[in-house]
Amino acid sequence: MILIFALFLLTLLVITAIAIVRTDDLFVAVMLTSIFSLLMAANFFILDAADVALTEAAVGAGVTTVIFLCALELTGDREKAREGGRWVALGTVSVLALLIIYATFDKPRLGDPDAPVHQHLAPWYLEKTPEYIDIPNVVTAILGSFRGYDTLGEVFVVFAACIGVLFILGVSPPRKNQPVIKKSSGLRHHLIPQVVGRLLIPFIVLFGLYVQFHGEYGPGGGFQAGAIIATGVILYAVLEGESEALRAIPRGVLLGMVIGGALLYGGVGVACMLMGGAFLDYSVLAADPVFGQQLGILIIEAGVGMAVCGALLAIFHAFAARERLS
């Protein structure tokens, strides 16, 4: 049953991808990429990667689509006509696809317990997590602690993306008393989206908080939570107008969340170092090393959530405010 469903999803995925390449209407392309992300999220779910699926749905299908649409408003929704070059690209992509397919002939069967992936590190993680960290969700243990340094790196990727957009779009850094121009935008006069959207927002934010604090037990964590909460706020901005959203959470707060989140995560690492452990060795944070690990993961996840939520919103506002500034 699941196989048929997976095949169906993958076929749709390919069709969508081809449609994205073929269309020269950028608005259609954006909508299709949103569908692509949603299909992708479903695929991740089938592969039991619920946390990745959540993020993909929130970021890929939600936030990115809105940001793309903001960008389209600045440029135009028609692709510039171009001649030639497509065949070269098509040829290259085909050859690469064949190569990867060739490589997968010798791959271990999906879910094969004898596959090297399940023989080496995974058993150790499964066996040692209860002993060292004592939380039910091993994925959180790996991402937050065993490979927490990678996660710190990813937070700084988000940070870099955020300052990059702010820098290039030239939105001046927040100043105090910057007046927010009140302008009637958004969907205030459309009753149905208004009512439905307003009903949805509290649930989205609540779900985001649940994902944030439930990461130790089920799929979840800071990245997903930050993205989901940001989606809720962006929905509010779409309904009520960007300036209303900015009034609710001003730009300075957003930037503060990004900086604070990144520093909170890094600061935990430094604190571990000062307390005699290695960088990000949470065991030294409390007298009981297991509790120290849990405490460390809790704090860094909070940092991740703050940074991701702030960055997504800051990027959204940078695009959305562009029109007014120019």
Partner 1 sequence: MDLLAHLPALQVVVPMLSAPLIVLLQPRGLAWAGATAAALVSFAIALTLALAVLDGQTLEYAMGGWPAPYGIALSVDAFSALLLLVITGAGATALLAARSSIDQQVESERQPLFYSAWLLVLSGLVGIVVSADAFNIFVFMEISSLASYILIAGGPDRRALPAVFKYLMMGTIGATFYLIGVGLIYMMTGTLNLADIQDRLGDVTDINPVLVAAGFITIGLALKAAVFPLHVWVPNAYTHAPHMVTVFLAACATKVALYVLIRFDYMVFQATLEDHEIQFALFAMPLAILGILIASAVAMFEGHLKRLLASSSIAQIGYILLGASFVSMAGLSASAMHLFNHALAKGGLFLAVACLAYKYRDLRLNQLGGAAARMPWTCAAFVVCGLSLIGVPGTAGFISKWLLITAALESGPWGWGLVAIILVSSLMAVVYVWRIVEALYFQAPVDGEGPTSEAPVQMLLVTGFIALLNIYFGLFPQVPLELANSAAALLLEGSQ
Residues that bind partner 1 (CB under 8 A): 99-100, 102-108, 115-122, 124-125, 128, 145-150, 153-154, 156-157, 159-161, 163-164, 166-168, 170, 172-173, 255, 258-259, 262-263, 266-267, 269-270, 273-274, 276-283
Of the pair 211, 255, the CB lying nearest partner 1 is at 255
In angstroms, give the least distance from the CB of 70 to partner 1.
18
The minimum distance between CB 285 and partner 1, in angstroms, equals 12
Question: Would you say the C-alpha torsion 134, 139, 140, 141 has a positive or negative sign?
Answer: positive
| DSSP codes, 204-244 | HHHHHHHHHHHTTTSS--HHHHHHHHHHHHHHHHHHH-HHH
Q: For partner 1, which is the closer residue by CB, 179 or 276?
A: 276
What minimum distance in Å lies between the beta carbon of 60 and partner 1?
16
Tokens at 120, concatenated: 């080496």
CA–CA gap between residue 180 and residue 182 (Å, rounded): 6
Question: Positive or negative CA dihedral for 99, 101, 105, 111?
Answer: positive
Q: By the 8 A CB rule, do 305 and 220 touch?
A: no
241 in Cβ contact with 188 (< 8 Å)? yes
Q: At its nearest, how many Å lie between partner 1 and the CB of residue 169?
A: 11
- State the minimum distance, in angstroms, from the CB of residue 96 to partner 1: 9
Nearest CB to partner 1, comparing residues 201 and 273? 273
In the bound state with partner 1, the residue whose beta carbon lies nearer, of 40 and 239, is 40
Q: Which of 180, 188, 105, 148 is nearest to 280 (CA)?
A: 148
Q: Is the Cβ of residue 17 or residue 259 nearer to partner 1 in the bound state?
A: 259
